[in-house]
Structure 1
Amino acid sequence: MFKIGELAELAGVSKRTIDYYTQLGLLEPVRSETNYRYYPEESIERLRLIDALKKQHLTLEEIKERLQIIQNQPDAADEIVDKIEHLQEEMKHIQEELLELKPLLKQLNEQQIKLMTKPLAQQGYTLLHTLAILLGGDPFIN
């Protein structure tokens, strides 16, 4: 069990962030007899998951909903955090590769560019569609 300051330091966030997340119900402290708040070790992992979900541009309310779902399946939380972090690393790598590709494409004519990038465009569309479905619905269906 950690005091608020200890948890904040271990998680790399401010005490104010811990307070705010507690008020929103994202973190659940245990109260001592003297009314001090203590946070269980799982709070560090929960803060990592909150951070990963924030990086996906989810609102704190959406994060709260997802945490409630995960809470019903606690064994899945670690796996979810790991997979989200892995996907973030992969997407960063893809962005870097695309930036390296941009100057090379300038050496081609328009027809060559279309021919070379068509498979990327199709895969990108499929990936975007899949991500949209996983992260909250299908944006292509009204």
Structure 2
Amino acid sequence: MYKIGELAKVCEVSRRTIDYYTRMGLLECTRSANNYRYYDLNALENLKMIEHCQQNHMTLAEIKQRLLLKKTDNIDYRVVEEQVNHIKIEMDHLNGEINDILHFVNSLNEEDKKKVLNKVSPQAVALLQSLVMLSV
């Protein structure tokens, strides 16, 4: 169990952020007799998921839906469909960005290409190489 300050430190967010997420219903806590808030490992996982979803430009309302989906046994088809549609839109956006970047990467000399590709993850390099082969 984590106090709010401990959870904030572990997840590298502010106490205020955790308080806000708790008030919004994104995080759950238990209260002690002296009114301290304690967060369990599930809250830690949810906070990491919230941060990840925000990095993927999801709104807090969309994140809340995803968290509800995670903890329910009775999954609503429409909610899942919305999540899939959101991911598809993001993938389409990223595909457009990759195509734009590929144009620039292909115009670089071999040495500069290597420098650029060394700065991205192995998965991204594999994806870029696959796209280059498909675009030829």
1:100-134 alpha-carbon deviations (Å, 9 max, x no partner): 65253489xxxxxxxx97x45xxxxxxxxxxxxxx
Match in the other structure for 2:106: 104
Deviations 1:64-87 (A, max 9, x none): 0110001125xxxxxxxxxx9xxx
1:54 matched to which residue of 2? 54
Q: Which amino acid aligns with 1:12?
A: E
Aligned to 1:25: 25
Q: What is the rounded CA distance, in whole Å, between the counterparts of 1:45 and 1:61 in structure 2?
A: 18
Matches within 5 A, 1:61-140: 61-72=61-72, 95=98, 99=101, 101-105=103-107, 119-120=134-135
Match of 1:61, as an amino acid? A
CA deviation after TM superposition for structure 1 residue 51, in Å: 0.9
TM-aligned CA deviation for residue 41 of structure 1: 1.7
Alpha carbons of structure 1 residues 4 and 98: separation in structure 2 relative to 1, 3 Å: same
1:51 aligned counterpart, secondary structure = helix
How far 1:14 sits from its partner (Å)? 0.5
Judged with a 3 Å threshold, the aligned counterparts in structure 2 of structure 1 residues 16 and 104 are, in CA distance, closer, same or farther, namely: same
Query: What amino acid is aligned across from residue 41 of structure 1 in structure 2?
Result: L
User: For residues 15 and 30 of structure 1, what CA distance do their matches in structure 2 show?
Assistant: 16
Q: Specify the alignment match of 1:15 in structure 2.
A: 15
Structure 2: segments with no counterpart, 5+ residues: 74-86, 88-93, 110-130
Aligned length, in residue pairs: 93
Inter-partner Cα distance in structure 1 for 2:35 and 2:61: 27
What secondary structure sits across from 1:58 in the alignment? Answer: coil
Structure 2-normalised TM-score?
Answer: 0.57
Any runs of at least 4 consecutive aligned residues in structure 1 with deviations exceeding 3 A, and if so which?
A: 97-101
Unaligned runs of 5+ in 1: 74-83, 85-90, 108-115, 121-142
Question: Which SS does the other structure have where 1:35 is aligned?
Answer: coil
Amino acid at match of 1:17: T
